[in-house]
């Protein structure tokens, strides 16, 4: 078999794997409707055991033997946990797919897989070949994330925009807008960041900050639950949030590079 044939076979197998992943979810989801979700996930994995067993027997029939004690000693501990994560994946897919739909469910899964894969490649984790995240890979990842976002918007009956823009195209306008908020007395600068002044906004007769949820105004329990409260010690009030964050020096260096 030539190198080209091996590549072609690999691509075909990957496409087949994608097809199997795509149809597996709806099938497991349909089984979950007829049975308990936990049982359907277990049954799915139990049935999947048999083709793996057939392949194992066929692979060892040609004289291949596996020294299991030696294999256990040589393999790192995490290498044995793939099946555990696979079981969790099947269980989540079984429970979610008929609520969210096959397209959105698989879209979110694929985007998440791509993000994790880029991180793994970049770090060379799990003894994989280290590969840098190039602009082409990053662009492809951004497209997939955008696709998942618009699928969510479709499920909410939100129409697609006529023009797609990036926030980096409007930095000057954003800075001017933030400055306008500061000039009106509704925000203040502290240590390179800009915070919205909830008290100043609420003090105006025609302004009411908790307009959408008036019954939650002053709810100290919700404020205490906010993760943001532990990050900043320079705000006037704990409930005030960033309008514009201070840029870290490393990020500024990357922009100037």
DSSP character string of 172-235: HHHHHHHHHHHHTTSEEEETTEEEE-HHHHHTSTT--TTSS-GGGTT-HHHHHH-GGGGT-S--
Q: Does residue 227 carry a pLDDT above 50?
A: no
Q: Which residue has the tokens 């939650």?
A: 216
| pLDDT tens-digit series, residues 199-215 | 787 777 777 666 666 66
- Which pLDDT score is estimated for 211? 66
Residue 232 banded pLDDT, cuts 50, 70, 90: very low
Percentage of the chain with pLDDT > 70? 70
Q: Which residue has the tokens 């025609």?
A: 206
Residue 233 banded pLDDT, cuts 50, 70, 90: very low
Evaluated on CA atoms 157, 162, 163, 167, the torsion sign reads negative
Residue 162 banded pLDDT, cuts 50, 70, 90: confident
Which parts of the chain are beta strand (E)?
187-190, 193-196, 242-244
pTM for this model (two decimals): 0.44
Q: Does residue 117 carry a pLDDT above 70?
A: yes
Angle formed at CA 227 by CA 226 and CA 230, multiple of 5 degrees: 110
Parse the chain into domains and list their residue ranges: 3-155, 168-256
Arithmetic mean of pLDDT, 37-61: 79
What's the chain's average pLDDT? Answer: 72
Show contacts of 187-192: CB within 8 Å, 24+ apart. Answer: 187/243, 188/236, 190/234, 190/235, 191/234, 191/246, 192/246, 192/247
- Which pLDDT score is estimated for 253? 52
Q: Does residue 243 carry a pLDDT above 60?
A: no
**Residues forming a β-bridge with 195:** 188, 242
- Which pLDDT score is estimated for 239? 47
Q: Which residue has the tokens 């139990």?
A: 46
- How many Å apart are CA 235 and CA 254, to the nearest integer? 28
């Amino acid at each position: 078999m030539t190198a080209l044939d091996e590549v072609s076979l690999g691509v075909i197998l990957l496409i087949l794997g994608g097809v199997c992943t795509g149809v597996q979810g709806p099938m497991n989801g349909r089984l979950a409707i007829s049975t308990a979700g936990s049982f359907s996930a277990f049954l799915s994995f139990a049935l999947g055991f048999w083709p793996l067993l057939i392949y194992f027997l066929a692979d060892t029939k040609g004289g291949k033997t596996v020294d299991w004690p030696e294999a256990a000693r040589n393999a790192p501990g995490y290498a044995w946990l793939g099946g555990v994560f696979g079981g969790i994946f099947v269980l989540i897919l079984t429970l979610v797919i008929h609520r969210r739909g096959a397209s959105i469910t698989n879209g979110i899964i694929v985007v998440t897989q791509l993000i994790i894969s880029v991180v793994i490649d970049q770090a060379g984790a799990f003894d994989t070949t280290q590969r840098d995240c190039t602009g082409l890979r990053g662009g492809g990842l951004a497209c997939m994330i955008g696709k998942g976002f618009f699928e969510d918007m479709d499920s909410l009956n939100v129409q697609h925009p006529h023009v797609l823009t990036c926030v980096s195209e409007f930095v000057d306008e954003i800075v001017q807008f933030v400055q306008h908020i500061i000039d009106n007395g509704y925000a203040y600068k502290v240590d390179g960041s800009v915070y919205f002044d909830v008290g100043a906004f609420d003090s105006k007769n025609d302004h009411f900050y908790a307009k959408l949820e008036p019954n939650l105004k002053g709810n100290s329990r919700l404020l205490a639950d906010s993760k943001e409260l532990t990050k900043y010690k320079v705000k006037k009030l704990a409930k005030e949030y960033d309008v514009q964050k201070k840029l870290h020096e490393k990020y500024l260096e990357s922009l100037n590079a």
